[in-house]
Structure 1
């Protein structure tokens, strides 16, 4: 049986990331210069992988992160199911101590297993997990796409990994993420296994000899 290889990456850095401003599905930000450099470094490292399809969210920061591959003419689909969690009333606001405490309390609520609790005006992990499932079903229904690249967002990526690896959502914080990090997974037809975990080795520029 052939193995489906999934390269799952988070988008590159944006100014919102840099300035600690809450950035969810309601913020359609662009990569900053650092994020663009991260995208180029990832492309240089993985441009020779024979990707059959590139999947992104509908937000431009994910599309910009894989632009080098799109410029090669690779097939590309955008899916709203891959969008970041909606952080509700806190989207676009800077992380004050009060906001940081609210965020910490919400994460604790989720780690305690209450993943149906929504952020004020936004989504819960369970809502995000449910909207990801049609994409996962679609991806798995395409055996001809043996090697795929998926670019999405930090919290949504953690939820996606729980979905793929059959972890309870309360365990999602076990999956670390950084800008333009890579999770490489193999799918045998029944289970996913992780080959690379939050890998950022591609972001280290090789020094000339």
Structure 2
């Protein structure tokens, strides 16, 4: 039995301003994002985590750095980086970009997982690396695992963990520091929490 905690990174200025991030934009948490991270830490600092797994992007590192500073083993996994949004990255969404994004996600919902924004990854590209990570996760020896990733990557991760088609990705919400908690029984992942923000009751004012 493994207890697996999966959270999205805290807020960045690009999140707040509606600018597309993706895997190619390595932003830092803003002040509110750091408060979110601190609130999560305050709630779970005494949980007996054995390892911390993050993406290779610093917004995930900063979200769980308090746990890392406790001396917990920490590994970076590019396989759980955010999806690459290609030509949209670093730009404020325009009506044309929104139309292109909607067209792509409609393809995904119809089962065409190879659709992509110019220069970016497809849903299938993302799923391929997420599946590599999940296979590794199944085989890890630790029983208490903390993971920090990204919005679209987590949507894909939920589909893989629940053995659901990628068409269902948009059913999963992903607020900043939203927590998914799963129990792995050696065969399947069973979810106790989905996008929980109860820890934010502990945040201090900004």
TM-score normalized with structure 2 length: 0.96
1:47 correspondence with 2:45:
yes
Alignment of 1:158-173 (within 5 A): 158-173=155-170
* Matched residue SS, 2:97: helix
115-124 or 31-40, larger mean C-alpha shift: 115-124
Q: Shift of residue 133 of structure 1?
A: 2.1
Matches of 1:97 and 1:134, distance apart in 2: 35
Q: Shift of residue 134 of structure 1?
A: 2.1
1:181 correspondence with 2:174:
no
How many residue pairs get aligned? The number is 204
* Matched residue SS, 1:184: strand
Unaligned runs of 5+ in 1: none
Q: Shift of residue 203 of structure 1?
A: 0.9
Alignment of 1:31-110 (within 5 A): 31-110=29-108
Q: Paired residue for 1:121? A: 119
Determine if contact 2:40/2:177 at 8 Å carries over to the other structure. yes
State which of 142, 147, 172 in structure 2 corresponds to 1:150: 147
Determine if contact 2:36/2:203 at 8 Å carries over to the other structure. no
* Matched residue SS, 1:204: helix
Unaligned runs of 5+ in 2: none
